[in-house]
Chain A
Amino acid sequence: MNWLSNLSPSWQWFHRLGSPRWFYQTTGRWLPWLSLLAFTLLSAGLVWGLAFAPQDAKQGNSFRIIYLHVPASFLALAGYYIMAIAGAVGLIWKMKLSYMLMKSAAPIGAALTFLALFTGAVWGKPTWGTYWVWDARVTSMLILLFLYLGVLALQYAFHSNDAGNKASAILALVGTVNIPIIYKSVDWWYTLHQPATIKFTSAPSMHPDMFQPLLVMILGFYCFYTVALFLFTRAEILCRERKSVWVKELAMAREQS
């Protein structure tokens, strides 16, 4: 660890972030509060969206699947950037913790992408008349699922953690191209999927009574994602650092209590 000595003070926070032990202890303090927040937001948003929000004039009650579909898709895309940036930091700074975050983001992202595709299929049948279409949005989302699974598979394809980390990080970085394509696919091509309801540049094309619970659900999904990412990363830390003194002490303390 000779390179640590030439770090300037301004980089110290970054160095501390890279310590698995520090991450494990800090997230351990945050987790109860974050979980409570995620649970509150998700349950409030679900009850509000599914039971109290008005139905849609054209789609009736089937539109309510938006309260799962849109937040899941949001986090499937945002989570990919988290995974790719973690991979890049790992490649550049050779930071162990960063690779652990990258690996943990893959299964969560894959699950969220699957949820987005599945709810989309369930929604597609009554609204479009079909479960599946090969339009630009749906196909690019399927590619996202394969990218997540590919990153995960590469982790297990090598004997050494180091080789697997590098291969996964490079695939994750190459795959970032897909994210703006997914986002803009509905504008660049004629797709069956409708354009975005929530835009960064203008007001949402949704009645406020329907939009507010959606916003709560999106916030809830962000919190839930953070909780899941912390839990997966903590498990990965314990697994990869099992030979370190502090993990052994932790395990001993658990056994005694």
Chain B
Amino acid sequence: MMHPARKQRLQLVILIVVAATVVVSLVVYMLGQNANYFYTPSQIAAGEAPRGVHIRAGGMVVEGSVVRAADSLDVQFTVTDGASLLVVQHRGILPDLFDEGEAAIAAGSVDENLVLQATEVLAKHDEKYTPPEVADAMNDAYRRKQGQKESVE
């Protein structure tokens, strides 16, 4: 059996933790989508992102969509979340990890054509870590499989 005074203090401790949890969960719930670091292309296509305001948008860079200008640092690419596409225009140097087929986040404002005029482009990497030889072997196997499929068709 616990001493009544200690039991009371235990209840107080539990009350503090529960009350703090409730308050913070409510705040977090109210913040809702605003706490998101970026919008998805679907949200922008659906008009959920404000126009002309500085926002961030992220998605996977579509293969073959990166177009670099020959005489300037202008670059244009398309990102997708699997459902919608978003065109991003940017002037500047892209981070090392930026690549087609990889995730990227662009910060800037959406113009009237729903094109994101990005002032900053960040690369988002995934939680997978693979040695280069293993990655190469996996890519080779994937290509072979694709080749087999095509030859069957």
Contacts and interface: CB of A to CB of B under 8 A. Distances in A.
A247 interface: no
Interface stretch (A22-30, A35-43, A190-198): A190-198
B112 interface: no
B35 A189 contact: yes
Q: Which size bracket describes the interface of A in this complex?
A: 35 or more
Interface string A83-117: 00000100111000000000000000000000000
B6 interface: yes
Interface string A143-181: 000000000000000000000000000100111111001
Chain B interface main SS type: mixed
B114 interface: no
A91 B13 contact: yes
Q: Which size bracket describes the interface of B in this complex?
A: 35 or more
Contact of B126 (A54, A194, A211): A194
11 contacts: A56-B131, A59-B129, A63-B129, A129-B94, A129-B122, A134-B37, A135-B37, A177-B20, A190-B38, A192-B38, A194-B125
Nearest to B102: A58
Interface of A: 3, 6, 8, 54-59, 63, 66, 88, 91-93, 126-130, 133-136, 170, 173-178, 181, 189-192, 194-197, 205-207, 209-211
B141 interface: no
Interface string B110-153: 00000000001111111111111111100000000000000000
Interface of B: 1, 3, 6, 9-10, 12-13, 16-17, 20-21, 24, 28, 35-40, 58, 94-99, 102, 105, 120-136
Contacts of B1: 8
A170 B133 CA distance: 52
B95 A128 contact: yes
Nearest to B8: A92
Contact of B125 (A6, A59, A133, A207): A59
B127 to A, nearest CB: 4
Contacts of A210: 129, 131
B24 A192 contact: no
A129 B98 contact: yes
B131 A207 contact: yes
B132 A57 contact: yes
